[in-house]
Amino acid sequence: MTTPAIDLSIIPAAQRAAVLALMEKVAALTEITQRQEHLIAELNHALHGKRSEKLTEDERQLAFEDLSIALGEVEVQKEHLAAKTGDKTTTKPAPKRTIGNLPAALPRIEEVIEPDSLICPCGCGIMHKIGEDRSERLDIVPAQLRVIVTVRPKYACRTCTDGVTQAPAPSHLIMGALPTEATIAHVLVSKYADHLPLYRQSQILARAGLDLHRAVLADWVGKAAFHLKPVVDRLAEHLKRSDKLFMDETTAPVLDPGRGKTKTGYLWALARDDRPWGGEDPPGVVYFYAPGRAGANAEICLTGFDGILQIDGYQGYNRLTKPTRKGGAPIRVAHCWAHARRKLKEVFDRDGSEIAAEGLRRIAEIYTVEADIRGISHGQRLSARQARSAPLVAAFGEWLQAERRKISSKSRLGEKLTYIHNHWEGLQTFLTDGRVEIDNNRVENLIRPITLNRKNALFAGHDEGGIAWGRIASLIETCKINGVEPFAYLKTTLTAIAQDHPQSRIDDLLPWNFRTSS
């Protein structure tokens, strides 16, 4: 339904700001509601549509959990919009009873939160305890389940009737629900680092006597993904300020419930790693999900970045180097010598080509120089490359052109040599900047965890799941390459967010700034 246009000119100036704010709120709520209705329809179609019969039980479960994650995110987005606008009329979920929902056999650790003062406000003296509120949340310590019991005693004055006091309830990421922030962190790490789909986690918990349906876990993940989005967005901002980044893409098969089969989505990895030359910026990676491999998706991911981009030979990146590039100035690319080597290795392994062998030998000489200068400053690397590598690369270029003239471009070897020729300019970029690597191997290493998750989970259950996958994997993998334990980081970060960590200090929540409490 379209909201009718309002003529603001007839509204008094004093009321105009309030009307504009109301219109913005209505538009935001409409957008959220439309997304929620769409997701619910998708969920019903995946579970009950005719083509859902083509799906296996595992496929249906994956679709269900990823759509449930998205619905969980929409729900908390609505709550945040209502809180931001001060709307007390928006219906909030009914508080969930926590006492008695968790197995009695789980150990209980009581945390008693006392008021700051027990002195009666009217000056009557010390208050006495008249009762208490108790709540239980599920907490997970690796390999151990336990229940955190929060006790908030109530105190009242014996003399007057107005002196009841009690400590306020602590803030949690998901108010009124079972999990502690540690539990949510455990579920995230298990799914996105240990490659355990939520329905398998549900089965594992069931063996411990805890009945938690995958839909409940999916709701937790969706809410966590919403709260972590600003941190990932900030991480991406930091990376795009760099002078040089890596980029690569990998398939992320996604279930298409409407067709009863999978389609091919992609996770685009944008990474920084300046450790080989002692750069001061910490390493990091962000995974952007897109429904396809078109170069336009890379262009969107790189909006705001204007440095050197280290990539493989995929032609979709070509649009980034043109004056028509959207989101920034034309990018200078550095192509990957490892890919050039692989092209020749494929031919050599197949038929033992002497020409391919010679090409491999020449590339090995260039890599020998790189091994010798690894770890020194970028200025020293540049000097060494100009003195030692440049003559080797020039000789390789002359050899390449001579061999191309002898061989049919339609032959297998001719195609490989043409590939190298077509990327020759980008293959020489490392000779002009000591910060540039000779290959793209560092970002390829950051793609491997995605492929492992793909192997174990088979595919994401929905496009929305691909987005959450990329978002949380960004934080987990950035933790790993900075030597930070992902569970400890996520537990601390989610706790800080639950306690209203200020937006002005969001950089404190980036993985490379994480410090374990002593």
CA neighbor of 135 nearest in space, from 166, 165, 160? 166
Alpha helices in 423-509 (DSSP H): 424-427, 441-457, 463-481, 486-498
3-state helix, strand, coil in the chain (%, to 5): 55, 15, 30
Where is average pLDDT lowest: 136-150, 382-396, 461-475? 461-475
Q: Given this model, what pLDDT does residue 460 score?
A: 54
Distance CA 226, CA 224 (A): 5
Q: Is 74 within 8 Å of 32 (Cβ atoms)?
A: yes
Distance CA 485, CA 366 (A): 36
What share of the chain in percent tops pLDDT 90?
Answer: 53
Q: Is 291 within 8 Å of 253 (Cβ atoms)?
A: no
Distance CA 407, CA 136 (A): 74
The residue written with tokens 């008693």 in the block is: 112
Among positive and negative, which fits the CA dihedral 192, 197, 198, 203? negative
pLDDT digits (tens, 9 = 90+) for 69-111: 777 787 888 887 777 776 666 555 555 555 667 888 888 999 9
Higher pLDDT, 377 or 9: 377
Distance CA 446, CA 146 (A): 34
Sheet containing 284-290: which strands, arranged edge to edge? 284-290, 261-272, 244-256, 308-310, 332-334
Enumerate residues 6+ apart whose C-beta is below 8 A from 263. 253, 254, 255, 256, 291
Distance CA 192, CA 465 (A): 11
User: How distant is the alpha carbon of residue 225 from its chain centre?
Assistant: 8
The letter for the amino acid at 380 is Q
What 3-state class would DSSP assign to 452? helix
What is the average pLDDT score of the chain? Answer: 85
pLDDT digits (tens, 9 = 90+) for 381-440: 999 999 999 999 999 999 999 999 999 999 999 999 999 999 999 999 999 999 999 999
Q: Given this model, what pLDDT does residue 1 score?
A: 46
Distance CA 441, CA 338 (A): 7
Query: pTM of the entire structure?
Result: 0.77
Q: Given this model, what pLDDT does residue 179 score?
A: 93
E strand or H helix that includes residue 422: helix 412-422
Which of 156-160, 289-293, 347-351 has the highest mean predicted lDDT (pLDDT)? 347-351
Q: Is 493 within 8 Å of 228 (Cβ atoms)?
A: yes
Q: Is 151 within 8 Å of 202 (Cβ atoms)?
A: no
Q: Is 334 within 8 Å of 345 (Cβ atoms)?
A: no
Higher pLDDT, 504 or 15: 504
The pLDDT confidence band at residue 486, using thresholds 50, 70 and 90, is: very high
Give the single-character DSSP code of 386. I
